[in-house]
C-alpha cells in the first residue's frame, strides 16, 4: 500500500543558510493533521508552508510537491550522505508509490484531500545551492527522477501515515517523468504533451511555443 511518510513544512531561510524569510526549500516533517487547499497565486497549497519565490513556484498548478522516499534513498547512496524526508523541498514524502511514473492528470486521495498530478519539478539554482553537490542541476536532470507537482482538487486534511490511493489514471500515458524529459533532455518528446489537458498552464504555453517554432 502506498503511504504518506511525512508532511514537510518550510523553515524559512535564505538560500545561503541564514534564518530569514526568503526561501522555503528547507522543509522538515511536521506532526498532526495539515490542511491542503487551493492556494492563492504564488502561494502554497499546504497550510503553514512558505513559497519564497512566488514568481517561479507555487500557485494552483504547483500547490503541492511530492517526492518518493525510495528515490531519496537512491540519491543518498550515490551521494554517500543522509537525506531526510523533505530534503528535496518536497511537501509530501511517499513510500510505495511511483511518483515519477504518475500520469499527468492522475488523482490521489489522501485523507479528505483530492490531488491531481500537474507537472514535474524543474531544478533551480536555489535547489542546487541547498543540496550543495557539484553540478547538481545537471546530475538531477540527467537522472530524470524529478518528483511531481500536484494541484488541489478537493481541500481537506492529510497526515503522515495515511494511505495514498490512486483513484484515477488517464489513458494518455504521459507521465511526470516523460514530461520532464521532454522539457529537458529529450525535446523530441514535446509533441506527446500537446493534448494533455491536465498539464500545468505554464508548460502548455511552452509546448505551444515550441511546436509553433517547429512548424514555421
Q: Which pLDDT score, from 0 to 100, does residue 21 have?
A: 43
Q: Which pLDDT score, from 0 to 100, does residue 147 have?
A: 98
Distance from C-alpha of 214 to C-alpha of 205, rounded to nearest angstrom: 14
Dump pLDDT digits (tens) for 143-191.
999 999 999 999 999 999 999 999 999 999 999 999 999 999 999 999 9
Q: What is the pTM of this model?
A: 0.94
Dump pLDDT digits (tens) for 71-98.
999 999 999 999 999 999 999 999 999 9
Half-sphere exposure of 193 (CA within 13 A, CB side): 31
Q: Which pLDDT score, from 0 to 100, does residue 20 have?
A: 45
Closest CA to 7 of 90, 128, 126: 90
pLDDT-derived band at 14 (thresholds 50, 70, 90) equals: low
Q: Which pLDDT score, from 0 to 100, does residue 57 have?
A: 80
Under DSSP, the state recorded for 123 is P
Distance from C-alpha of 4 to C-alpha of 159, rounded to nearest angstrom: 8
How large is the average pLDDT for residues 102-124?
97
Q: Which pLDDT score, from 0 to 100, does residue 17 have?
A: 52
Do 87 and 74 touch, CB atoms closer than 8 A? no
Mean pLDDT, the chain, integer: 94
Phi (first) and psi of residue 23, to 5 degrees: -125, 150
CATH number for 201:
2.40.33.20
Q: Which pLDDT score, from 0 to 100, does residue 16 have?
A: 54
130 sits in which H/E element: helix 125-131
How do beta strands 34-36 and 113-120 pair?
unpaired
| The total number of structural domains that make up the chain | 1
Under DSSP, the state recorded for 16 is T
Dump pLDDT digits (tens) for 44-73.
999 999 887 777 788 999 999 999 999 999
Distance from C-alpha of 50 to C-alpha of 66, rounded to nearest angstrom: 15
Amino acid at each position: 500500500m502506498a503511504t504518506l511518510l511525512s508532511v514537510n513544512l518550510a523553515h524559512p531561510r535564505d538560500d545561503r543558510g541564514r534564518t530569514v524569510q526568503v526561501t522555503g526549500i528547507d522543509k522538515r516533517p511536521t506532526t498532526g493533521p495539515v490542511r491542503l487547499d487551493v492556494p492563492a497565486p504564488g502561494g502554497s497549497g499546504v497550510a503553514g508552508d512558505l513559497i519564497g519565490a512566488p514568481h517561479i513556484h507555487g500557485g494552483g498548478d504547483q500547490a503541492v510537491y511530492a517526492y518518493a522516499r525510495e528515490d531519496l534513498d537512491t540519491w543518498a547512496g550515490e551521494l554517500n550522505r543522509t537525506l531526510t524526508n523533505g530534503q528535496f523541498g518536497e511537501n509530501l514524502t511517499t513510500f510505495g508509490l511511483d511518483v515519477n511514473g504518475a500520469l499527468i492528470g492522475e488523482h490521489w486521495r489522501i485523507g479528505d484531500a483530492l490531488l491531481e498530478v500537474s507537472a514535474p519539478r524543474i531544478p533551480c539554482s536555489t535547489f542546487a545551492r541547498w543540496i550543495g553537490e557539484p553540478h547538481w542541476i545537471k546530475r538531477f536532470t540527467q537522472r530524470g527522477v524529478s518528483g511531481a507537482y500536484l494541484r488541489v482538487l478537493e481541500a481537506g486534511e492529510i497526515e503522515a501515515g495515511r494511505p495514498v490511493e490512486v483513484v484515477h489514471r488517464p489513458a494518455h500515458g504521459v507521465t511526470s517523468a516523460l514530461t520532464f524529459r521532454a522539457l529537458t533532455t529529450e525535446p523530441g518528446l514535446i509533441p506527446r504533451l500537446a493534448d494533455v489537458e491536465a498539464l500545468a498552464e505554464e508548460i502548455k504555453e511552452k509546448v505551444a511555443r515550441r511546436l509553433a517554432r517547429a512548424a514555421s
